[in-house]
Structure 1
Amino acid sequence: MYNYYFAIASQDFLLNQEPVEEILRERTQYYKDLNKEIDFWLVINPSFINLMKGHNYLNTSNSFAAIVSLDKQFIRWLKLRISFVYIGSFRSKSIFLSD
């Protein structure tokens, strides 16, 4: 089992209104410089959104995008950088299937 941390928002907000491409490109270069394996992913309409149906701020009729990582500090930093996201975590054997 792995602990995954995520920052999630509407696709429009995350992909069009925020500089996510630039943020992830810079993070990728940083990892490359450190010879560190990539431990984050951009996921469109993640399946774990179904686990959060009870949260009023996440209308599941919308399309969502999430940045998912094994690095809790990276997700916390994203919350500071992109303030209008919801952050959380889940445990899973796979990035796409939550137990």
Structure 2
Amino acid sequence: MTTYYYILASQKFLLEEEPLEEVLKERRRDYADKNKEIDFWLIKQPAFLEAPEFAEIKAKCPQPSAAIVSLNSQFITWLKLRLEYALKGEFEAPSATISDPLASLEPVS
């Protein structure tokens, strides 16, 4: 199993109220410059929240939600320092309750 780290907040907060797009764009550019593989993802309506162990966390987060999920715990810690109104955590996947750690419940348009 792999450990995934996340920041979770409402979509409105992460995608409209915070300059997150600029942060992620800069990080992608930095990774490209260093020939480093992307290890973070923006997920709208993350499916991992449907796992029973996330019931309490899901209840704390305004819906619809969004998450930045990463394999890099330091990146998530850095984001949490910037994003006051976000929840931070981690989980292991694949597991019996989380088959795809990057799955979204948001309909594809």
TM-score, normalisation: structure 1: 0.88
Match of 1:44 in 2: 44
Give the Å deviation of 1:39: 0.4
TM, length-normalised to structure 2: 0.80
The 2-side partners of 1:30 and 1:11 are apart by 25
Asked if the contact 2:69–2:102 (Cα under 8 Å) also holds between the matched residues in 1, the reply is: no
Secondary structure at 2:56's aligned position in 1?
coil
Asked whether the 8 Å contact 2:47–2:101 carries over to 1, the reply is no
Q: State the number of aligned residues.
A: 95
Deviation at 1:58, TM superposition (A): 2.5
**Cα deviations by residue, 1:23-63 (Å, 9 ceiling, x for unpaired):** 1001101111111000000000001112322245225xx10
Match of 1:95, as an amino acid? P
Q: Which residue of 2 aligns with 1:58?
A: 61
- The answer for the alignment partner of 2:75 in structure 1 is 74
* Partner Cα separation in structure 2 for residue 30 and residue 82 of structure 1: 21
> Displaced runs of 4+ in structure 1, greater than 4 A?
none
CA distance in structure 2 between the aligned counterparts of 1:75 and 1:87, rounded to whole angstroms? 8
Match of 1:28 in 2: 28
Superposed CA RMSD: 1.4
The answer for unaligned runs of 5 or more in structure 1 is: none
